[in-house]
Amino acid sequence: MVKRVDTAVYDAFTAAKDGKWESGVVTLGLKEDGVGYTVDESNEDLITDEMKAAAEQAKADIIAGKVEVHDYTTDSSCPY
C-alpha cells in the first residue's frame, strides 16, 4: 500500500497558489489518487498479471461505488 503524500502536498500547494487553500482535514482515497499500491523490483516477481488485474478491478469497483469500503474512523469497528 502506498499513501500518496505527494498528491496531498501537490493539491495543497496548487490550491494555495490559486487562492483556494483552506485549513482542515482532507481525505484522499483511490478516486483522488491518495492511496495505491506499487510494484517494484522487490515484489514484481511475486505478482502475476491476474493479481494486477484483480487489484485494478477492485480499485475501479471501489471508485465506481460498486464496492463499499468501511471507514473505521467513523465508529472504531471493523465489520469483517
Residue 78 lies in a domain: no
Is 77 part of any domain? no
Global pTM? 0.75
Residue 18 within any structural domain of the chain: yes
Note whether residue 41 is domain-resident.
yes
Residue among 40, 34, 30 at smallest CA distance from 9 = 34
Q: Per DSSP, what are the bridge partners of residue 24? A: none
pLDDT in tens, 4-13: 999 999 999 9
Domains in the chain, number: 1
Tell me how far apart the terminal alpha carbons of the chain are, to the nearest angstrom.
Answer: 19
User: In this predicted structure, which of 1-5, 14-18, 55-59, 73-77 has the lowest mean pLDDT?
Assistant: 73-77
Per-residue b or e along 6-39, where b marks 16 or more CB atoms closer than 10 Å to that residue's CB: ebbeebeeeeeeeeeeeeeeeeeeeeeebeeeee
Cell numbers given for 66: 460498486
* Position 20 in a domain: yes
